[in-house]
Amino acid sequence: MTASRTCGIGLLICMGVGQASVAAEPAAKPIRYTGKMEIVVHRGANHLAPENTMASARKAVELGCQYVEVDVRTSADGVMYIMHDPNVARTTDGEGFLRKMTSDQIDKLDAGSWFRPEFKGERVPRLRTLLEWIRGKAKVYFDVKDADLQKLLAMVRELKMQDDVFFWFGNRIEAVKFRRIDKDMPLKINVKDLKELRLAKTYWHAQIVETSIDVATPEFVKAANDLGIKVMILYTGSDRDVFRRIVRSGAQMVNLDRPMIFIEVWRQEQQRPGGKKPSE
pLDDT tens sequence across 199-228: 999 999 999 999 999 999 999 999 999 999
User: Does residue 50 contact residue 31 with C-beta atoms inside 8 Å?
Assistant: no
Measuring CA to CA, which residue among 1, 141, 130 is closest to residue 56? 130
Instruction: Give the rounded distance of the alpha carbon of 143 from its chain centre.
Output: 7
Query: 24 pLDDT exceeds 90?
Result: no
Query: Which amino acid, residue 201?
Result: K
Domains and CATH numbers, the chain: 38-71+146-271 (3.20.20.190)
Query: 21 pLDDT exceeds 70?
Result: no
pLDDT tier for residue 8 given thresholds of 50, 70 and 90: very low
Percent of the chain with pLDDT strictly greater than 90: 82
Q: What is the pLDDT of residue 16?
A: 36
The lowest-confidence range among 57-71, 108-122, 264-278 is 264-278
Q: For the stretch 174-196, what's the b/e string if a residue is b when 16 or more beta carbons lie within 10 angstroms of its beta carbon? A: bbeebbeebeebbbbbbbbeeeb
248 CB-near residues (< 8 Å, 6+ apart) = 269
pLDDT tier for residue 26 given thresholds of 50, 70 and 90: very low
User: Does residue 208 contact residue 229 with C-beta atoms inside 8 Å?
Assistant: yes
Q: What is the pLDDT of residue 47?
A: 95
Q: What is the pLDDT of residue 276?
A: 54
Beta strands in the chain (DSSP E): 38-41, 67-74, 80-82, 139-144, 165-168, 188-190, 208-211, 230-235, 253-256
Beta bridge partners of 188: 208
Q: What is the mean pLDDT of residues 109-127?
A: 98
Q: What is the pLDDT of residue 192?
A: 97
pLDDT tier for residue 11 given thresholds of 50, 70 and 90: very low
Query: 31 pLDDT exceeds 80?
Result: no
Query: 146 pLDDT exceeds 60?
Result: yes
Q: What is the pLDDT of residue 34?
A: 84
Q: For the stretch 55-82, what's the b/e string if a residue is b when 16 or more beta carbons lie within 10 angstroms of its beta carbon? A: bbbbbbbebbbbbbbbbbbbbeeebbbb
Angle at 250 between CA 246 and CA 255, to 5 degrees: 45
Measuring CA to CA, which residue among 12, 9, 14, 17 is closest to residue 236? 17
Percent of the chain with pLDDT strictly greater than 70: 86
Predicted structure pTM score: 0.86
Q: What is the pLDDT of residue 274?
A: 65
Q: What is the pLDDT of residue 187?
A: 98
End-to-end alpha carbon distance in the chain: 29
Query: 105 pLDDT exceeds 70?
Result: yes
pLDDT tens, 222-235? 999 999 999 999 99
Report strand pairing: 80-82 vs 67-74. antiparallel
196 CB-near residues (< 8 Å, 6+ apart) = 8, 9, 10, 189
Q: What is the mean pLDDT of residues 118-138?
A: 98
Q: What is the pLDDT of residue 189?
A: 97
Measuring CA to CA, which residue among 277, 276, 259, 220 is closest to residue 61? 259
Mean pLDDT over all residues of the chain? 89
Q: What is the pLDDT of residue 1?
A: 46
